Structure formats: C-alpha cells, structure tokens
C-alpha cells in the first residue's frame, strides 16, 4: 500500500469558498427508498447466511429501480390508481451446500417491513408491488470471495475508490438537520400531513444562505387550498428553525416552490412520496454515504447501499475513508479539516488498498502530524475485515 499524508494546497475548503451547494434527498424520496431497500435486503441476506452457514456469502445487491405509480390526490383523502413497482436486482449466492436461499421471501418481506416502518401514509400491501430479480453470482467472484476466507483476509470484489471528509460544515449540517428534523417521528405524530418525501437544496453565496425544500403533503390531512398554504408556511418556519441551530442565523426558505394557485398545481399526495405518481428512483442516484450530495467536496459516485460488507470496497472504502478523516480531526494535533481517498485493486486484500491518501488542513502554526495520521489510517485499515460486524450490529451510513 502507498500511504501518503499531506496538507491541502491553498484554498479554504467548501465552507470558505464564495459559493457552496449541498443537497439531501429525504427518507421518502424514490432514490433513497431504493437505497434503503437494497441495504435492507443485503442485511437480511447476510443474517440468513450467517445463521445457516456460519459466514456471509458473496452478494452485490446494488441495482434497484422504482417505477412510480399513478394517483389521484384530493383534499381529505384521494386514492391510488396504479401501484408503485419496485424491482430489486443484483447478484447473490442463491444455493449453498444444497440449501436454497429464500431470496424472494427475504426481498418482499424485508421491503414491506421497511416501507411500513418509514412511510407512515403508504400501505405497502396495497400501494406497492415488489419484484425480486436477483440472479446467481458469477463463478469468478464467488471463487474470489471463497479464496479470501481460505487466506484469512477478505479480497477486494472490485477496483474502486472511496472518499470521505470531516467535519461537516455549517451548511452541510443545516441541510441534514432540516430533513431529519422534518422527518422525525415526534413531528410526524404532531403533523401527519408532512410526508417523508422531503428534498432539501441548500446554497450559500457569501454569507447568504437559501434553502429550497420540496415536501410532499398527505392529502387526507389537508382540508383545502387555504389549509395547504397554512401548513406549507408552517413547514417553512420549522425548516428555518432547524437550520438556524447550525447556521447561527436565519436562512431564506422556500417550500414547494413550483406550487400554483389551484388544487391541481400543489404538492399534494396520497402516500407522502412522489413515487406514487411524480417520480421514479434508482439505487445510487441519491445521497452519498454521509447522507448528503456535496458537489463542492470530493465525492465518489459509487452506490454504497446493497453492496456486501465483507469484500465490496465500494461500500467499505467509503465508510472507512470517512472514519479516517474523522479520526484525523478528532485525534491528530492541529488538524482542522481532513479528506481521505482509498483506492482498491480487485483481488488485493481489502485491508491493503493500492493507495491511501490523507490530506489535512492545519490550524495556523501547527506542524503536519505525519506519524499520527499514518497510525490512525493504518489502524482503521487493519480492522477492515471486521467492519461487517459493526454493520450488522449498528448499520453503516449508506444513504
């Protein structure tokens, strides 16, 4: 492995640039739903493998598509005209030691469970059709996975890269706080008209911050256009308050900026998600592993969700890179910001990337703590083969 440690050249980071852009697609956005269901299936499948065979087997379930349905929203409650279709695709070990893996049952039951838990106005039995299109893994990747077990360390499933940085800046923290706050269980109990399909776009120009929030309202909790407008204004007020805690000032907030004047031109839904009629979704098109889309930062385009947590560096390296960067800020003297890039080569040990590059921004007068940074990175990489245990116990950031 080539491990390099250096300081950023010039600049001041995203938070110091004249313009910054940050986006988050909320838990009910069609792209996020696809990520979540891919990750849910990977978890269910991994637990099945462990219980039946004693170890996780090869799988990559990072391909999934949501095809939006058709609906007829109405004040006081509308109806679905055609269900949402979700297609879960990818590769997995479907038979081992003569035992069939019940992949379709795992896919359908797990998806319905997740949807019921996270989308309060959607009925997964009536409003959604789950299609499982998982096919057997290729023999060479199954063999590569097995060779890793024989050698006692995981071998990279792909040639790929992972990127992570720390800490989140004020705008990033604010955008994340707005979506998670509006989608908090407590607020849903108080304001069930707020659907889970919430997208937040934050822009900063100098010191001025503007947030554009798209928020699906649930029709059965909205009585009229006037009621909709009042509830939309309340959402804007809540969003501004949630952002203020991170920004230290009031941002300008626009909610459902495309709304017109009549009942047919407002963001009203039956289920609380645009997936019912207005939008489709796909795994990997939404948030990165830190929960954000940050075009002003280094960012991998790898889909993290659904990839296996043992050998697929598209998941493992994005998580580890973020943890290495966070460790640098927390434990290396003088480090204020950090970014880490990890690059794999297929067939090489996961714990031994081809390149590990750590770059930091130092406080004025601080010296580059090279030895500490190298030690922190080596420690995280040495434990890469055990990351799956953390994933099963606590989950890993994937969307």
CB 66 within 8 A of CB 281: yes
Over residues 56-61, the mean pLDDT reads: 97
Cα–Cα distance for residue pair 87/331, rounded to 1 Å = 44
40's tokens: 């849910």
Q: Tell me the average pLDDT of the chain.
A: 96
- At residue 2, the pLDDT reads 87
pLDDT exceeds cutoff 90 at 396: no
323's tokens: 């943890």
Kind of pairing between the strands at 252-255 and 2-7: unpaired
Over residues 364-393, the mean pLDDT reads: 96
Cα–Cα distance for residue pair 323/313, rounded to 1 Å = 14
Over residues 153-162, the mean pLDDT reads: 96
Over residues 313-323, the mean pLDDT reads: 97
What values do phi and psi take at 268, rounded to 5? -110, 135
Strand arrangement, sheet containing 84-92: 128-136, 84-92, 59-67, 281-282
- At residue 78, the pLDDT reads 97
**Domain segments of the chain as ranges:** 14-25+169-282
What values do phi and psi take at 24, rounded to 5? -140, 130
Please tell me the pTM assigned to this model. Answer: 0.95
Tens-digit pLDDT profile for residues 321-363: 999 999 999 999 999 999 999 999 999 999 999 999 999 999 9
Handedness of CA 360, 343, 350, 293 (dihedral sign): positive
Cα–Cα distance for residue pair 114/352, rounded to 1 Å = 35
pLDDT exceeds cutoff 70 at 38: yes
Kind of pairing between the strands at 2-7 and 355-362: parallel
- At residue 264, the pLDDT reads 85
Kind of pairing between the strands at 268-269 and 208-218: parallel
Mapping DSSP to helix (H, G, I), strand (E, B) and coil, where does residue 152 land?
A: coil
- At residue 359, the pLDDT reads 96
| Contacts of residue 87, Cβ cutoff 8 Å, sequence gap at least 6 | 64, 65, 66, 67, 131, 133
Tens-digit pLDDT profile for residues 167-226: 999 999 999 999 999 999 999 999 999 999 999 999 999 999 999 999 999 999 999 999
Tens-digit pLDDT profile for residues 244-294: 999 999 999 999 999 998 888 999 999 999 999 989 999 999 999 999 999
pLDDT exceeds cutoff 80 at 13: no
Tens-digit pLDDT profile for residues 80-104: 999 999 999 999 999 999 999 999 9
Over residues 125-132, the mean pLDDT reads: 98
Cα–Cα distance for residue pair 350/205, rounded to 1 Å = 41
Choose which CATH entry (1.20.210.10, 3.40.50.10800, 3.30.300.340, 2.60.120.10) describes domain 14-25+169-282.
3.30.300.340
**pLDDT band, residue 12 (cuts 50/70/90):** low
């Amino acid at each position: 492995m080539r491990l390099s440690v250096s300081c950023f050249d010039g600049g001041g980071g995203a938070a110091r640039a004249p313009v910054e852009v940050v986006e988050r697609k909320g838990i009910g956005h069609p792209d996020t739903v696809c990520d979540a269901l891919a990750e849910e299936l990977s978890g269910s499948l991994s637990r099945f493998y462990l219980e039946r065979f004693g170890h996780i087997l090869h799988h990559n379930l990072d391909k999934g598509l949501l095809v939006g349905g058709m609906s007829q929203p109405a004040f006081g409650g509308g109806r679905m005209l055609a269900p949402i279709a979700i297609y879960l695709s990818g590769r997995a070990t479907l038979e081992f030691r003569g035992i069939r893996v019940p992949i379709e049952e795992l896919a359908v039951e797990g998806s319905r469970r997740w949807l019921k838990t996270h989308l309060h106005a959607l009925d997964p039995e009536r409003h959604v059709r789950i299609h499982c299109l998982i096919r057997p893994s290729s023999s060479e990747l199954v063999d590569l996975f097995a060779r890793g077990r024989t050698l006692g360390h995981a071998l990279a499933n792909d040639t790929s890269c992972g990127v992570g940085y720390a800490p989140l800046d004020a705008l990033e923290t604010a955008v994340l706080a707005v979506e998670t706050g509006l989608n908090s269980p407590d607020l849903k109990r108080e304001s069930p008209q707020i659907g889970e399909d919430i997208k937040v776009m934050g822009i900063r120009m100098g010191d001025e911050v503007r947030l554009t929030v798209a928020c699906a309202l649930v029709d059965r909790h909205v009585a009229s256009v006037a009621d909709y407008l009042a509830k939309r204004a309340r959402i804007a007020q809540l969003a501004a308050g949630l952002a203020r805690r991170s920004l230290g000032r009031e941002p300008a907030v626009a909610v459902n900026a495309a709304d017109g004047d009549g009942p047919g031109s407002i963001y009203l839904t039956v289920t609380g998600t645009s997936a019912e009629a207005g939008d489709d979704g796909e795994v990997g098109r939404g948030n990165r592993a830190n929960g954000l889309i940050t075009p002003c930062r280094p960012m991998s385009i790898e889909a993290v969700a659904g990839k296996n947590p043992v050998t697929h560096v598209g998941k493992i390296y994005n998580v580890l890179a973020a943890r290495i960067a966070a460790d640098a800020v927390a434990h290396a003297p003088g480090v204020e910001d950090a970014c880490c890039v990890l690059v794999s080569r297929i067939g090489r040990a996961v714990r031994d990337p081809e390149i590990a590059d750590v770059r930091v921004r130092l406080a004025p007068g601080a010296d580059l703590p090279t030895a500490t940074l190298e030690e922190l990175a080596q420690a995280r990489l040495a434990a890469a083969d055990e990351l799956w245990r953390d994933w099963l116990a606590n989950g890993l950031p994937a969307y």
